[in-house]
Amino acid sequence: MQTNLETLGALERRLSMAVPAGEIDKEVDNRLKKLSSTVRMHGFRPGKVPMKIVSQQYGIQVRSEVIGDAVQKEFEQAIEVNKLRVAGNPKIEPGKDEDATHLSFAATFEVYPEFKLGDISAVKLEKATLEVTEADVDRTIEVLRKQRVTYADAGRAAQAQDRVSVDFVGRIDGVEFAGGKGTDMPVVLGEGRMLPDFESNLTGVKSGDAKTFDVKFPEDYGNKELAGKTASFEIHVKKVEAPQLPAIDAEFAKALGVADGDMDKMRLEVRANVEREVKKRLEADIKQKAMQALIDSTPVELPKSLVQIEMQRLVQSTRQDLEARGMKMDQLPINPEMFETQAKRRVGLGLIIGELVSTKELAPKPEQIRALVEDYAQSYEQPTEMVRWLYSEQQRLAEFEGLAIESNVVAWVLNNAKVEDKAVSFDEFMNKAAA
């Protein structure tokens, strides 16, 4: 075969290949002969189908396979000889050279970029620190109480935190609009789930009241047909209920999983859960900052093919997630372009991490992976069996290997950058992390 390598751009290459037609013909004949000894065809005994008929039936398919195999083999050899690292999948097309003795092809592809890791020694990172206090435990218990709130007839006018159930009809210029009608709609005053004008008009109402009021939709309202318009709502109040928070007692402790209802045990378990959550969010926060520092300090030319592959992967992941929630995706197409920024970040970070692991020897050690696997398995009834199952196939460990690599990379960044601890408040940090 003959090959010629061209540079089309920073990362784009084109490899021209010429395959001797005689070799193709010879291999096609060989494969058809082998096929004729096994092919079954109506009217002929096995192995007795005439070559001419076998060629007529399978010749085009066999020739296509032979050419594909020959081109793939030559492409791989040329890549090895030229020491190229191909990014994505090559686009192979027939060549423009006309020669009866050869079949020409051209493979267009991208290569991985060559780049130098940036110097992060001058990078400043703020590492959030947070110690869980008894007051934080109290606030968490209060949140747990609110999650278990019940409602009972208030016997008075509605006020903040009450749940008001209403029937309502909304009209614009006297005409009902889509989504503007509801029956037994519960509204908790103060949650902000309804428009402010709607919710404020429910304050002070009593069971059995009827009321009409106007609500102006914001200019940036999600439904463009309603944005900026004023609607008139007619409501009928069905119920006004006051919140009933459970007492912090043995029954409450049992509801949280403390079998004997011991209050001290409950506080210890709540604290342990809060500390685990705080640790997880602190680690996620500094990890995000460390990864961003790597991206900011190391410019990388991104192969478009890898970005496209990552965009499609994100589309598929989103599709599966939405379908799992019961949505019909044939009615809701997903535009891959919406994932372009995220895909570029992932590809760029992946290239940088790969270079770091290689040059700084940050590959995970077996004991690191084992620790992550065992920690994950603790959430199952039989942790030992889960560990054994995960180790039974190497591919199941890929996620844990990735986590170990990220941990090593973050540790390397923190050891080389200028890191400053910064104490943060519990509420501020947890709300920010949740957002």
Q: Report the mean per-residue pLDDT for the chain.
A: 91
Nearest residue to 313 (alpha-carbon basis) of 105, 37, 88, 157 = 88
pLDDT at 18: 84
Per-residue model confidence (pLDDT) at position 97: 67
User: Whose CA is closest to 137, among 277, 262, 254, 261?
Assistant: 277
The amino acid sitting at 10 is: A
Reported as a pLDDT band with limits 50, 70 and 90, residue 435 is low
Mean pLDDT of 200-224: 94
- Residue 329 is predicted with a pLDDT of 61
Distance CA 407, CA 182 (A): 50
250 confidence band (pLDDT: 50, 70, 90): very high
pLDDT in the model for residue 185: 94
d(CA 158, CA 303): 60
**Whether residue 272 has pLDDT greater than 90:** yes
Residues 6 or more apart from 230 whose CB is under 8 A from it?
172, 214, 215, 216, 217
For residue 1, pLDDT over 60 is answered with no
Q: Across residues 409-435, what is the average pLDDT? A: 88
For residues 125 and 293, the answer to whether their CB atoms sit within 8 Å is yes
Q: Where are the domains of the chain?
A: 2-111, 149-244, 259-434
Q: Which phi and psi (to 5°) does residue 46 adopt?
A: -55, 130
Longest distance between any two alpha carbons in the chain, whole Å: 97
Fold match, 2-111 / 149-244? no
Banded pLDDT at 406 (limits 50, 70, 90): very high
The arithmetic mean of pLDDT across residues 179-196, rounded, is 92
Q: Which residues have CB under 8 Å from 89's CB, separation 6+? A: 109, 305
98: pLDDT strictly greater than 80: no
Structure confidence at residue 374 (pLDDT): 94
Helix (H, G, I), strand (E, B) or coil at 225: coil
The mean pLDDT of 89-112, rounded to a whole number, is 85
If pLDDT is split at 50, 70 and 90, which confidence band does 269 have?
A: very high
The residue among 221, 130, 134 whose CA lies nearest residue 430 is 130
Question: For residue 131, is it left (φ>0), alpha (ψ between -120 and 50) or beta?
Answer: beta
With 80 as the cut, is the pLDDT of residue 180 above it? yes
pLDDT over 80 at 227, yes or no:
yes
The pLDDT score that the predictor gives to residue 332 is: 65
Q: Where is pLDDT greater, at 311 or 102?
A: 311
Check the CA dihedral 49-53-55-60 and report its sign: negative
336-349: pLDDT as tens digits: 899 999 999 999 99
CATH of domain 259-434: 1.10.3120.10
Task: Classify residue 338 by its DSSP letter.
Answer: G
What is the secondary structure of 175-190 as a DSSP string?
EEEEEEEEEEEEEETT
Q: Around Cβ 117, how many Cβ atoms within 10 Å?
A: 14
User: What CATH superfamily is the domain 2-111?
Assistant: Trigger factor ribosome-binding domain (3.30.70.1050)
Amino acid letter, 419: V
User: What is the tens place of the pLDDT at every residue in 29-67?
Assistant: 888 888 888 887 777 777 777 888 888 888 899 888 998
Burial class of residue 270, CB neighbours in 10 A (0-12, 13-18, 19+) = buried
Does 313 or 324 have the greater pLDDT score? 313
Please give the Cα distance from 431 to 424 (Å, whole number): 12
Listed residue (423, 90, 429) closest to 284, CA to CA: 429
- pLDDT of 122 higher than 70: yes
CA 303/CA 9 separation, integer angstroms: 11
Helical ranges in 166-220 per DSSP H: 196-200
Give the C-alpha separation, 152 to 243, whole Å. Answer: 7
Per-residue model confidence (pLDDT) at position 434:
64
Q: What is the CATH number of domain 149-244?
A: 3.10.50.40
Instruction: Identify the three-state secondary structure at position 57.
Output: helix
Residue 103 pLDDT: 83
Radius of gyration of the chain (CA): 33
Report the range of poorest mean pLDDT among 319-323, 348-352, 366-370, 386-390: 319-323
Check whether 123 has a pLDDT greater than 80.
yes
Question: Is residue 258 within 8 Å of residue 266, measured between CB atoms?
Answer: yes
Tell me: pLDDT of 251 over 90: yes
Question: Quick one: which of 64, 70, 113, 72 has its CA closest to 89?
Answer: 72
Model pLDDT for residues 150-171, shown as the tens digit of each residue = 999 999 999 999 999 999 999 9
SS3 232: strand
Q: How far apart are CA 170 and CA 231, in angstroms?
A: 6
Amino acid at 66: V
Which residues lie below 8 Å from residue 295, measured CB to CB, with a gap of 6+? 345, 348, 349, 352
Q: State the sign of the Cα–Cα–Cα–Cα dihedral 347, 353, 357, 359.
A: positive
Burial class of 49 by CB neighbour count within 10 A (0 to 12, 13 to 18, 19+) = buried
pLDDT for the residue 32: 87
| Mean pLDDT (whole number) for 121-129 | 94
